[in-house]
Amino acid sequence: MMTSAQIAEVGIASGCKGGLERCICPRVTICATDTLSIILLALARCSAFFDYPLYMMMFLSKCHNINNVCRRTVLREWIDFGDMHKVHRLFGIIVGIETMFHSFFHMLRWGLNADIDLLWKTTTGISGLAAVMITPLICWPMVIPAIKERLAFEVRKGLHYLSIVWAIMLLFHSKSRIYYLIGIPALMYLVDYLFGYFGRNGLIENAFFERYGENGVALHFLNPPNWDKKPKTSYVYVMCPWISKYQWHAFTIFPEPTKENHTMLCIENSGDWTKELHRKIKVPCLRPLYVLGPYKSPFSDAAVTTSNAIAVASGIGITPTLSLVLNYAGKKRINVVWVCRDPGLVEYILHKFDIGAITEKSYAFIFYTGTRELALPKDLPANIFIFTGRPHLEHTITGIVTAFHSGDGLPEEMYEAQEKIANAPFDQKMKIALSRVVEIYNKDEMFEYAVEETEKAIAAVSKEQALESDGTVDTDPLVLETVPVRPSLSSS
């Protein structure tokens, strides 16, 4: 607080007004010489001071590599590094509101004092105005459902990167400690991002892509040299240059069950990028991609300190559960409750993974809510139960807990119902399998695939015949004679 004489020496105002002995006027943008102005200034400044720690955490919470290291240290006993995205989202919402709050009281004070021109005549005003104008573009598309539904993810993600411009505006907004409070966390984020982008980014030249059903794609690849042979429950960012060179999307990874030192992931057809991926993967093929990571999944921390766990998943959420189960198979008892309506995903998981083996000492409950019948493996293990319809989660989870604590197991009628599903007649299984193929690939895609495979087979046969005849390979293309189809008698 300053006296009228001190304010007069500064030369911004003549002194305090309204009979006040002391007021505030260190510089032109923060000059409150009457009671109302002091109240408005106090409200604006308190909101700024309240937000400073949130500004820092918004950048630090997105330092994935630093977070990954901290989660392996003793700091995890005091700080929950498991899901920094929740911290980022919560603080982002608060800052989005507080920014409007802060700006409103400053502009109201300037307007009442006939100083509104400070908004465009000072660095503080211009930088503040720019920050408040781009704040809705950064926050609203990420948190308001109506906007999220109408904007593509790529657009929302691009708008969110305006936060870099927002941070630069804050550096010019105030002459106080904001250089350190914003500059240092922002610099740490930039260094962390560049280290991850160039240091933990790997090219997979021959990743194997295939459709796992009518609504998704699975891909498999050999682990890069700097990866563990069996990565813990983690996620990676994937970029397919043949779709877009600028889009990175996060997906959970899990060990390939049939190949050592290989990783796989399942991608559900849900957005623009994933739909384009599904469209381009018409047949199983090898294509390049880039992977950034891996980073430990928030899902892993909750189960690390427990010997018994119940993992509840829905739809594509089974992938982090599978990663958890595969990593702790034989070490921890993890029961799985999975609700899914995608028949292709259920069939792919049951055929690809030996769920009975990896959940040998526990149970796996699959609640199928789709309409098409499932093409199930021939022999389902006794500890896997498949039901049609939605579960009553409270009864299911308490039933699992009771079964283990009592030692009595599950009711016999559950096993009897399971045997009926697993031992379906052969002709019924064939019909389901054929309908599954038709739903995964349309007739044009199947014809194209058949033509490609036929050409490969013909080329291989002609090469073998040439080698058997004279030991040399005939490089001339094989010419097939076309035979016209005789018209039927009814058409003549």
Helix/strand/coil (H, E, C) string of 262-297?
EEEEEEECCCHHHHHHHHHCCCCEEEEEEEEEEEEC
Q: Residue 160's pLDDT is what?
A: 92
Q: Contact 135/99 with Cβ under 8 angstroms?
A: yes
Structure tokens at 8: 């007069």
Nearest CA to 273 out of 235, 237, 236, 244 is that of 244
* Predicted local confidence at residue 127, as pLDDT: 92
The lowest-confidence range among 216-230, 237-251, 294-308, 378-392 is 294-308
pLDDT per position as a tens digit, 8-44 = 777 777 778 888 888 888 888 888 888 898 999 999 9
Residue 290 pLDDT exceeds 90: yes
Stretch 280-296: mean pLDDT, rounded?
A: 89
Residue with tokens 């804050």: 170
Specify whether the backbone of 337 is left (phi greater than 0), alpha (psi in -120 to 50) or beta. Answer: beta
- Distance separating alpha carbons of residues 305 and 295, to the nearest angstrom: 19
Q: Which residue has the higher pLDDT, 386 or 486?
A: 386
Higher pLDDT, 286 or 467: 286
Beta carbons within 8 Å of 43's beta carbon, 6+ residues apart: 101, 105
Give the pLDDT confidence of 295-327 residue by residue, as tens digits: 887 766 655 567 778 888 898 888 888 888 877
Q: Do 99 and 127 meet the contact criterion of CB atoms below 8 Å apart? A: no
CA pair distance 182, 174, nearest whole angstrom? 11
Lowest mean pLDDT among 140-144, 277-281, 430-434: 430-434
CA distance 261 to 333: 24
Q: What's the pLDDT at 467?
A: 62
Q: What is the dihedral of CA 311, 316, 319, 321, to 10 degrees?
A: 0
**Longest pairwise C-alpha distance within the chain:** 115
- pLDDT per residue as tens digits for the range 186-213: 899 999 999 988 888 889 999 999 988 7
Looking at every residue in the chain, the average pLDDT score rounds to: 80
DSSP letters, 368-409, are E--SSPP---SS--TTEEEEES---HHHHHHHHHHHHHHS--
Mean pLDDT, residues 117-132 taken together: 91
Q: How many CB atoms lie within 10 A of CB 382?
A: 13
Distances (CA, A) of 123 to 130, 132, 152, 186, 322: 11, 14, 35, 21, 54
**Mean pLDDT comparison of 133-137, 283-287, 409-413, 456-460, highest-scoring range:** 133-137
Bond preceding residue 320 cis, omega within 30 of 0: no
Token pair of 53 as six digits: 């720690």
- Higher per-residue confidence, 407 vs 134: 134
pLDDT tens digits, one per residue of 77-98:
788 787 788 899 999 999 999 9
pLDDT at 208: 93
Position 478 pLDDT exceeds 50: no
Who's near 203: CB < 8 A, 6+ residues apart?
Answer: 288, 289, 290
pLDDT at 3 over 50: yes
Which range is least confidently modeled, 161-165, 167-171, 256-260? 256-260
From CA 364, how far away is CA 384, in angstroms rounded? 5
- Point out the least confidently predicted range of 240-249, 291-300, 317-326, 355-364: 355-364
pLDDT of residue 473: 44
| Whether the predicted pLDDT of 481 surpasses 60 | no
Q: How far is CA 279 from CA 161, 391, 441, in A?
A: 29, 33, 10
450: buried, middle or exposed (CB in 10 Å: 19+, 13-18, 0-12)?
A: exposed
* Reported confidence tier of residue 422, pLDDT bands at 50, 70, 90: low
- In which band, very low, low, confident or very high, does the pLDDT at 107 lie, cut at 50, 70 and 90? very high
Distance from C-alpha of 169 to C-alpha of 116, rounded to nearest angstrom: 19
pLDDT of residue 468: 60
Mean pLDDT of 237-262: 89
Mean pLDDT of 234-258: 89
Query: 215-234: string of b/e by CB count within 10 Å (b at 16+)?
Result: bbbbbbbbbeeebeebbbbb
pLDDT exceeds 80 at position 475:
no
Q: Confidence band (pLDDT; 50, 70, 90) for 427? A: low
State whether residue 32 is helix, strand or coil.
strand
